[in-house]
Amino acid sequence: MVKYIIKRLLLLVPVIIGVSMLVFLVMHMFTTDPAATILGQHAKQDQILALREQLGLNKPIYVQYWDFLRGILHGNLGDSLMTKTPVWNEIMARFPATIELALAAIIFASIFGIIMGVISAIKQNSIVDYICMVISLLGVSMPIFWLGLIFILVFAVQLQWFPVSGRIDIGLEPIRITGLYLIDSLATGNMPAFFSALKHLIMPAVALGSASTAIIARMTRSTMLEVVRQDYIRTARAKGLLERPIIFGHALKNALIPIITVIGLQLGTLLGGAVLTETVFSWPGVGKYVVDAILVTDYPVVQGTVMMMAVIFVLVNLLVDIIYAFIDPRIKYS
Amino acid sequence: MTTKNIKKYEEIKLPQAPKEESKFGNAWYMLKKNKAALVGLIIISILLIIAIFGPLIMPYKPNIGELSQSLQKPSITHWFGTDEQGRDILSRIIDGTKISLRVGITAVAIALSIGIVVGSIAGYYGGKVDMLIMRFMDVMLAFPSLLLAIAFMSVLGKGIDNAIIAISIVTIPEYARIVRGSILSIKDSEYVQAARVIGNSDVAIIFKHILPNVISPIIVRATLGVSNAILDTAALGFLGLGVQPPQAEWGSMLGAGRGYFYNAPHIILFPGIAITITVLAFNLFGDGLRDALDPKLHQ
């Protein structure tokens, strides 16, 4: 197992180098001259040339790439063209917000997706099954940003159950330990902060997790339907076991492998989806940061953020692979 | 090998690939029995008609409005109300159908064409070529697709054509993988070997003998891919990176409506419903197609 993990980690190296190369080339081959962007429309040619020299843009492309790669290894992703602050610091300051949102979304999606899938499977072809499947079909067909806007309209503006935007009420920010407000406020016993953070988190998390809920529900249903037809389930029934232990103790346990695969893959997808949700709810995470940067062509920010998110995406997928080994002894790793 | 010899070989009873006609005939029969898929197909047909004949059925010009008529609620004169510039939302939604379908279908067609070529080369030739191509595909799959599309848009610039390019590029690896996997599964079959023995070129073997027999999963993926492409187009439009004003596109209509929807909810309601119905139709049809083309489900 340890050997497998080490092997997979080593295999990550070429993928991450490839990711960095792709991000770097795309950003450098197609973007407009960053020096011209910084200096604006009225800049003179010699000013642009001087700034290009200062930014190292006159060096050969492979030297620039090497500098970029070395920077990543030292936690240096360059400075934002607009705010002049280090991109790494900005990303680190915002990353906990995105992680908290993605985790909340995946927890919501897993719980409701599995419940819906199991109910659909055990009540196959009933009205409950049809309702669950219609909900899940709508879930994968609705744009999450539109769902977010509808949530704001109904639950924030009309019913006023939740705040319209933001991450926590001003002045209630807990002392930073992990950067995840829910955990930090609980750890410091700051309950007003906890409830404020929770109220701010619910709508974006549900909106972000809606498509994943639907995908997990559909996967759970089809896997459960396959599992409940297996001989060992028939045996359990013949032995006179009650339906509940059969479903949860035998069937669901065995159906979990493909469900966990889907959940893992969804966690990665949610990082991409966070770009939209964070924009809708003005959630101060990495997604909103990158969208704002794109709109003002701040390429070091786009480059750094896309790179970081890709690395996290790859690591999450690796983690999912490793988790299989723990939950399914039939999978052999060599 | 002379032509005469080749003809001789062809006369020998060589292993034959399964007949496609009966396979697709059977699939069509299964599809007709699937009510949800039929509903999807009917909605797609209606959307295509709206896209083609849009200008004839639009009650107003989609890009021209009167400021005095801005943010009007749905009424007899404006069924879906008007937007912040007094433009008729129904007319804009009808106009947007053409763009959403165009981007969705074109992006998938481009990605599919490149994916088929790349996946075929990787799967058929194997070895170092396969390794190189698939590692590059792995790198592309290392990005959340929407994020990569956004990154491409940030460098390509805004606009509908660039949206098509960005969405196609990020979906190529999915098709390449499916094609490669399918080719690997049958490239050593007897009928492929037979085609090789009678002197067919590699291109002919791939396109005439292999691809027609592995096309089912590719068609299914492409149908479902259209719905994803439509959602991605809407997302890019919503972020202000896709189709540019004044052109009507459902996602950009939602993006523009964000500033006004507290007082005029209809401004975001109808474009969102249009996206949902279109994506739902392709999902229903794609699911039905998968069930119809999957031989395991026929048993």
* pLDDT of A330: 64
Q: A275 and B147 in contact by Cβ < 8 A?
A: yes
* A-interface mutation test, from B34, B134, B135, B143, most A Cβ less than 10 A away: B143
d(CA B178, CA B183): 9
| Rounded Cα gap, residues B106 and A250, in angstroms | 46
pLDDT at A105: 95
ipTM score assigned to the predicted complex? 0.85
**pLDDT tens-digit readout, B244-259:** 888 889 999 999 998 8
Whether B299 shows a pLDDT value over 70: the answer reads no
Contacts of A210 (CB under 8 A, 6+ apart): A109, A139, A142, A144, A147
The pLDDT, as a whole number, for residue A320 is: 78
The amino acid occupying position B241 is L
For residues B248 and B95, give the distance between their C-alpha atoms in angstroms, rounded to a whole number. Answer: 6
pLDDT tens sequence across A218-260: 889 988 888 888 888 888 888 888 888 888 878 888 888 788 8
| Nearest residue in B to A265, CA atom | B144
State the residue for tokens 């602050």: A85
- Residues A142, B276: C-beta atoms closer than 8 Å: yes
DSSP state for residue B19 in the 8-state scheme: P
- Cβ distance of B235 and A143 shorter than 8 Å: yes
> Which one has a higher pLDDT value, A136 or B20?
A136
What's residue B188's pLDDT?
80
Burial (CB count <10 Å: 0-12, 13-18, 19+), residue B36 = middle
Q: Which amino acid is at B271?
A: P
Distance of CA B205 to the CA centre of its chain: 26
Look at residue B191 in the predicted model and tell me its pLDDT.
85
Q: How many Cβ atoms are within 10 Å of B16's Cβ, its own excluded?
A: 9
Scanning every residue of chain B, which has its alpha carbon at the shortest distance from the alpha carbon of A302? B151
Nearest CA of chain B to the CA of A204: how many Å?
Answer: 16
Output the pLDDT for position B1: 47
How does pLDDT run across B170-186, given as a tens digit for each residue?
999 989 988 888 888 88
Looking at beta carbons, which residues of chain B come within 8 Å of A135?
none
pTM: 0.86
Q: Spell out which residues of chain B touch residue A142, defining contact as CB-CB under 8 Å.
A: 272, 275-276, 279
Whole-angstrom Cα distance, residue A296 to residue A330?
51
On chain A, the residues whose CB falls within 8 A of the CB of B152 are: 26
Contact between B153 and B163 under an 8 Å Cβ cutoff? The reply is yes
Task: Indicate whether A114 pLDDT > 90.
Answer: yes
C-alpha to C-alpha distance for B23 and B238, rounded to whole angstroms: 42
B146/A273 Cβ within 8 A:
yes
Q: What is the dihedral of CA B68, B73, B74, B76, to 10 degrees?
A: -50
Band of the pLDDT at B294, cuts 50, 70, 90? low
Q: Min CA distance, B236 vs chain A (Å)?
A: 9
Q: Looking at residues A101-119, what average pLDDT do you find? A: 93
